[in-house]
Chain A
Amino acid sequence: MTVLDKLLQLLVAVAVFAAVMGVVLFVAGRARGRRTDLVSGIAFTAPAILLLLVGLLYPAGRTALQSVLDASSSGFVGLDNYIRIFTQPDLVIVLRNTLLWVVITPILATAIGLVYAVLVDRTRFEAVAKALIFLPMAISFVGAAIIWKFVYAYRPNQQNIQQIGLVNQFLVWLGFEPVNFMLVLPWNNLLLIVVMIWIQAGFAMTLLSAAIKAIPGDIIEAARLDGVGGLRLFFYITLPSIRPAVVVVITAISIAVLKVFDIVRTMTGGQFGTSVVANEFYLQSFRLSELGMGSALAMILFILVVPIVIYNVRQMRKVDAR
């Protein structure tokens, strides 16, 4: 396809979409009398509802069904796919890795974001300092994975060969042997998790910084008059005051972590014992054509996400009510 063909496709799409919207608004605008509300209401909401029915609700239902069918979706296998996920050794490792990601990433990202938010709060260079930490949020997971792959890059330790990865260079400077990090179980998992922490710390910092600034000044003032300062101020005043925001940040990051597969795929392809559920889902569904397994893995993601989302929404209401 030439660029011209592609632009034509775009124009056709715009034209089709504009025509549909034109008809919808025309219908809504023609309604008169007692049925005005009914007709307009349906016209305004129908396009979104229809798209969600076809593009999300029906597929989700079908995935739930396929998860109890075999690889080609032709025979009923009950919970076999799920049982395999929890018993087959390589898939158990996938579950373990996912657990590592979900436990470590939110805690460390939130802790770092919180500490940093407190450290730069109301300093002269606050805006610039925050932008630096927040910047990784703008970078795609793929871009971030490449940035960190370069940090971990490894060259065999021979005469005349210099390290080009920063971490290995530090090892060499300190007199150690360079390490091919991506091959070292189970630490390679942690090194991949570092990438996600690097991305999410900025998100945590931004939300928590806002929460810290919302603590009423007189509370801080009163504590200071009582001689509370430094770390004690942080643990007795700041942290309890922003607790709901901290919970929101931790749960939001957990949800993002469960679904991320780009980092693993780009850095190791899920090899060397580093795969996670989201990556395994992609592999089984679209590379191995194991439709049953792929669907079951998607359902497991769904089941893991639901309680966290519900908890997250409840905490958000608390933050909001204040």
Chain B
Amino acid sequence: MTVLDTKDNAGIGPDIVSAATSRSTAAKKGLTSPWASLAALVIAVLWTIPTFGLFLSSFRPERDVQRTGWWTFLANPNLTFENYAEVLFGGSQPLAGFFVNSILITIPSVAIPIILATMAAYGFAWTRFPLRDTLFVAIFALQIVPLQVALLPLLEIFVGTGLNGTFWTVWIAHSTFALPLATFLLHNSMREIPAELVEAARVDGAGHVRIFTTIMLPLMKPAIAAFSVFQFLWVWNDLLVALVFAGGTADVAPLTVRVAELAGTRDSDWHLLASGAFVSIVIPLIVFFALQRYFVRGLLAGSVKG
């Protein structure tokens, strides 16, 4: 497949971004009319207001939320943390437990595929064995398989092995589904490391394991970080995999499953839905603001994930 000859196919985003910063000073301003500014402002407001409305409502007392729109907030400005207290710790299925589940699901589901993919990427990029290129193309091609295609039989396997209803199912499923894209992207950035570096290490008597741990891993940090952020968001925000493998029980179900359930069963309790939604959103938002650079790269790179 000729696709593989070009460097970094799916990673076009980062390339464009870096090219952009070097050239951006050359061109002059595009549209500067007040109409253009107004149009931009309208879009920005339209895009922000839905989130803001629900966010404000999550801090308003139940009475206010049910009776008046959030835009009347200034007429009776009451704020409370009670909604959050109730949704996090009250009732028979407090969100706090699901929050813990989300964290426990996410950590291995990000770490395992990245470790496996980094190793596989090294194997495909810097060792030689029969069928190496064929296997790599096969993994590349697996990206087109939508995960829906694998869910039913995978569930049968999990039921058959008695893993069903444990965290293992979600960990294994997320790890597997992430592998094709992760291996492909990390392979691309690993190929860009100069061969002289590897050769020099070999001359010094370093084996593959030494080269992998002391040369590759440090140089791969940015690529690994970008993919980690992407995979983190994918797993934390996932509903489908969680519903299929962990949906049945409060023991393992993550936030998304419970919040979606709330939206179905208590769809008029807006004070709880609002605060519940933001409990599930807060971690990705922190990641977004803290790691915006990696975040953008990761999303661009992973935009066509299966």
Contacts and interface: CB of A to CB of B under 8 A. Distances in A.
Q: Do A and B come from one complex?
A: yes
Interface of A: 1, 3, 6-7, 9-10, 13-14, 17, 21, 24-25, 28-29, 31, 36-38, 40-45, 47-49, 51-52, 54-60, 62-64, 66, 112, 115-116, 118-123, 129, 131-143, 145-151, 153, 162-166, 169, 198, 201-203, 206-207, 210-211, 213-218, 220-221, 224, 230, 233-234, 238, 245, 248, 251-252, 255-256, 258-259, 261-262, 265-267, 269, 278, 281-282, 285-286, 291, 294-295, 297-299, 301-302, 305-306, 309-310, 312-313, 316-317, 319-321
Interface stretch (B43-51, B83-91, B193-201, B218-226): B43-51
Name which of B101, B143, B304 has the most chain A CB atoms within 10 A of its CB.
B304
Given A10-B104, A55-B150, A252-B304, A169 B179 contact: no
Interface string B68-111: 11111000000000000000000000000100110010011000
27 contacts: A9-B168, A10-B108, A28-B207, A36-B207, A41-B129, A55-B150, A57-B142, A59-B150, A59-B157, A120-B40, A121-B30, A122-B24, A123-B29, A135-B285, A142-B256, A142-B263, A142-B280, A145-B260, A151-B50, A169-B69, A207-B16, A210-B20, A245-B16, A261-B240, A298-B152, A299-B149, A316-B9
B201 to A, nearest CB: 14
Contacts of B244: 282, 286
A52 B142 CA distance: 9
Nearest to B68: A162
Contacts of B278: 143
Given A119-B40, A121-B29, A133-B47, 5 more contacts: A56-B176, A59-B157, A135-B288, A153-B270, A320-B12
B251 A214 contact: no
B227 interface: no
Contacts of B306: 305
Contacts of B122: 44
A6 B150 CA distance: 27
B5 to A, nearest CB: 9
A146 B259 contact: yes
The 9 tightest CB contacts between A and B, nearest first, are A217-B26, A44-B123, A55-B176, A213-B20, A140-B237, A41-B127, A41-B129, A59-B153, A48-B120
In terms of DSSP, what is the predominant structure of the interface of chain B?
helix
Given A48-B179, A298-B146, A305-B144, A37 B129 contact: yes
In terms of DSSP, what is the predominant structure of the interface of chain A?
helix
Interface in B251-301: 251-252, 256, 259-260, 263-264, 267, 270, 273-274, 276-278, 280-281, 284-285, 287-288, 292, 295-296, 299-300
A114 to B, nearest CB: 11
- For chain B, the bracket of interface size reads 35 or more
Contact of A269 (B16, B264, B300): B264
Interface of B: 3, 6-10, 12-13, 15-17, 19-21, 23-31, 33, 36-37, 39-40, 43-44, 47-51, 53-54, 57, 65-72, 97, 100-101, 104, 107-108, 112, 115-117, 119-120, 122-124, 127-130, 132, 135, 139, 142-157, 166-168, 171-173, 175-177, 179-180, 183, 207-210, 212, 233, 236-240, 243-244, 251-252, 256, 259-260, 263-264, 267, 270, 273-274, 276-278, 280-281, 284-285, 287-288, 292, 295-296, 299-300, 303-304, 306
